[in-house]
A and B are shown apart, each in its own frame.
Chain A
Amino acid sequence: MTSDLISQLTSGALTSVALTERCLALIAQRDGAIGAFLHVDREDALKQAAEVDARRGRGEALGPLAGIPIAIKDVLCQTGQPTTCASRMLKSFVPPYDAHAVTKLKQAGAVLLGRANMDEFAMGSSCENSAYKVTRNPWNLDRTPGGSSGGSAAAVAGGMTPLSLGTDTGGSIRQPASFCGVVGMKPTYGRVSRYGLVAYASSLDQIGPFAPDVFGAAALLEAIEGHDPRDSTSVNRPAQGYTKTLEQPLAGLRVGVVREHFVEGLDADVAGATRQAIDVYKSLGATVVDISLPHSKYCIAAYYLIASCEASSNLARYDGVHYGHRAANFDGMIDMYAASRGEGFGEEVKRRIMLGTFALSSGYYEAYYLKALKVRRLIRQDFDKAFEQVDLIVSPVSPTPAFPLGSLTTDPLAMYLMDIYTISANLAGLPGISIPCGFSSDGLPIGLQLQAPPFEEERLLRAARMYEKATSWTRLAPTPAA
């Protein structure tokens, strides 16, 4: 577990080089089958590890994650390392600067291990939209690891890295965490600076941790959060010190269960595991309150309009001029844009750019984009009302466990519907976490989602830890594939 790893490194029982070598060996052994990584720079990782060991040897003060290898979703800029967003568009892009979260990890002493696969530009729920490779679920290689941060989740679940970073725009951390049986957390919008995060939908995107346990998620969030003037939506709030209070259970906890969540389409195993988890909270002294989020059913429609509109605007920057793919053959400037973008973007990205451009175009803006923004407020108001009655909302993460690879790729709408339980946290700007809560009858992990009011990450993590301590799900790992 993460805290043991940190104490072994601190005490000198384990060197960072030995730990990093172990990760690299496991990547060499397992990642051919899993496909979690797009790029691993062995030499660079070992160099970072050796530096930490040397500094520790000299008795220097080290950061909280000193010597811990961390995989980075390929959407966060890292100086000198390819940052492709799993897109042909950015095939040869090597950023000249670090994302804020990457800078913070370097300051914390982490070893940046490699670049994790994802759905292209973070658009997708299965990792099948990557232009480079499909990532497979370490629990069952015929299943998806989820997406879009599927590589980050699979890398932790497959034991190839102790921790990883992902991003969550509509569930892209929580859903793969649930599919892969690890802990994944989306912080409150604004908690982590998005500087250097390649933008998909700017009002929804948020960076967050993957870990095998709640402590790891808390430690990683602690390392990357904080105000950054380079992202004007990053909030200036004092750090809460999650790892310090993690072991303190919450007394008098009121847990909300959403009436609208237990409906048709929810897998029986997932519903059962969620119900059992609610019983665990009851046995820990929590009061369970039946609540309603009346606008839940409109989340997906509002989300796909808002996210696609923002994406169509954000992805306008890929013009074949400053960086990214430029077509070899074209007829004039405008055609160069269109040809480069036509060749560089994959199908799902094109679909969302098209939907967004349409919904923002003259004559349709009010009917689609503006209406979605109004519904967004209704969704937020539902949560504000619910949180007058409860401290946390407990729900499924995804309506089903990890689905078979290829099963939803021909039906974009069916794929979108997989995000029904996670999307509202992005629209409302809430923190949410997925923690393992059981297995389906065919042996696939199931995740439990906890959501809290904005900026109540401390409450969220303490509540997650209460559950983790009372159960044993996070101590399980898949039998190594291959």
Chain B
Amino acid sequence: MSDELTPDVVRRVARLSRLKLDEPQVAKLANELSKVLHYVDQLNELDVSNVEPMAHAIELTNVFRADDPRPSLPREAALSNAPRSDGKYFLVPPILDEK
């Protein structure tokens, strides 16, 4: 299932991951991740066509709790770790063209 992970694929995955990488990092990751993918290829030795995937060790379904309102974090506490804030909101760079 795995091919060599080319630098192009690494750049695409980095874009999906929102990770800015420089070219030496891209080359290093291409090499390291190719090795890991080669290693995990051993899973192909197994026939799992009739096996149900197991997402969790304890297969709980639909854990509900009462929909009771509880106090939430005060605004000041919620904003206390924000990289940028005006005291009311989280501030982000403009996402729409301002023109």
Contact = CB atoms under 8 A, between A and B. Distances in A.
Interface of A: 92-94, 96-97, 189-190, 203-204, 229, 232-233, 235, 295, 297-298, 300-302, 304-305, 312, 316, 319-326, 330, 332-339, 341-343, 345, 350-351, 353-355, 357-358, 361, 364, 367-368, 370-378, 380, 412-413, 416, 426-429, 454
A94 B81 contact: yes
A323 B81 contact: yes
A351 B57 CA distance: 25
B27 interface: no
Contacts of B33: 351, 354-355, 358
B22 to A, nearest CB: 8
Contacts of A354: 10, 13-14, 17, 19, 29, 33
B69 interface: no
B86 interface: no
A454 B58 contact: yes
Contacts, number: 166
A353 B19 contact: yes
A353 B35 CA distance: 16
A301 B29 contact: no
B85 to A, nearest CB: 10
B88 interface: no
B54 to A, nearest CB: 4
Interface residues of B, number: 50
B90 A322 contact: yes
Contact of B20 (A97, A298, A312, A338): A338
Interface in B45-99: 46, 48, 51-58, 60, 63, 65, 73, 77-78, 80-84, 90, 92-95
A350 B90 contact: no
B92 A367 contact: no
A304 B81 contact: no
A320 B83 contact: yes
A353 B90 CA distance: 25
A335 B51 CA distance: 41
A350 B29 contact: yes
Given A304-B36, A326-B84, A368-B40, A312 B57 contact: no
A378 B49 CA distance: 12
B17 to A, nearest CB: 4
Nearest to B22: A342
10 contacts: A94-B81, A312-B17, A320-B83, A321-B92, A338-B20, A361-B13, A374-B48, A374-B51, A413-B36, A416-B36
A373 B57 CA distance: 11
Contact of B17 (A203, A321, A357): A357
Q: Which 6 A-B pairs have the closest CB atoms?
A: A429-B57, A342-B20, A373-B53, A323-B81, A326-B83, A96-B77
A87 to B, nearest CB: 14
Contacts of A297: 42
A232 B36 CA distance: 33
B57 A298 contact: no
A353 B19 CA distance: 9
A235 B57 CA distance: 12
Contacts of A454: 57-58
A351 B56 CA distance: 23
Contacts of B16: 357, 361
A322 B48 CA distance: 41
Contacts of A334: 18
Contact of B57 (A322, A342, A416, A427): A427
Contacts of A92: 81
Given A94-B80, A357-B13, A374-B48, A301 B40 contact: yes
A274 to B, nearest CB: 25
A371 B43 CA distance: 8
A129 to B, nearest CB: 14
A323 B48 contact: no
